[in-house]
A and B are shown apart, each in its own frame.
Chain A
Amino acid sequence: GESVGLHLPTLSVQEGDNSIINCAYSNSASDYFIWYKQESGKGPQFIIDIRSNMDKRQGQRVTVLLNKTVKHLSLQIAATQPGDSAVYFCAENGRYGGATNKLIFGTGTLLAVQP
């Protein structure tokens, strides 16, 4: 049988649709946020980042929105393609007790693109 904790939140979308992946972060002092894409058997791959003095940042087919009031981050992928199928992690990078570049990852979301 399957165990609790072995299931990633999953977002299933049709090819060509837009995808929105959400993330809540924990530390209001965090000043830098990153979205990573991780395909099966590979390491995390940088997608886009945003600093806390911005609300929105756009890349190629991707947009990151930051709402500091509610500590929420989202990743929007336009015209989702089968190659976008992967696990997506948000990560926050804050000053934890003076520590330096320490990334804290969210739990991850599995994006499944249906052809």
Chain B
Amino acid sequence: DTEVTQTPKHLVMGMTNKKSLKCEQHMGHRAMYWYKQKAKKPPELMFVYSYEKLSINESVPSRFSPECPNSSLLNLHLHALQPEDSALYLCASSQKSKTGAQQYFGPGTRLTVT
């Protein structure tokens, strides 16, 4: 199984809502990632988890809160988002967190903030 799954596929939320994005992989990977992708732009790294611990936070605003409950799951909790946060949110995983490890991406969650 070389699949990363993400739910929901689409999400529309108001600026006062609280919602969560979920990501799951069963490849035994120990590193997981959140990326944000705007239209016609490359993915931008947000967070990296290595062995269930946050290892990189790319200066992401606190209205985005990641969580790694176990080695297979990665969540992104959203609160008080702004319309400019509308984007495709991609989850990825890799076997290890060191350089040279291929990252496998999920299909993404299309988020619209109204």
- A residues near B (Cβ < 8 Å) are 5-8, 31-32, 34, 36, 41-46, 49, 51, 89, 93-95, 99-103, 105-108
Contact = CB atoms under 8 A, between A and B. Distances in A.
A100 B31 contact: yes
B2 to A, nearest CB: 9
B71 interface: no
Contacts of A32: 99-100
B42 A49 contact: no
A89 B105 CA distance: 13
Q: How large is the interface on B (under 10, 10 to 19, 20 to 34, 35 or more residues)?
A: 20 to 34
A39 to B, nearest CB: 10
A105 B42 contact: yes
Nearest to A6: B40
B45 to A, nearest CB: 6
Contact of A34 (B39, B97, B98, B102): B102
Given A100-B50, A105-B42, A107-B42, A31 B104 contact: no
Interface in B24-64: 31, 39-45, 48, 50, 55-56
B99 A93 contact: yes
B106 A49 contact: no
Given A31-B100, A100-B97, A101-B98, A42 B108 contact: yes
Interface string B1-26: 00010000000000000000000000
B38 to A, nearest CB: 10
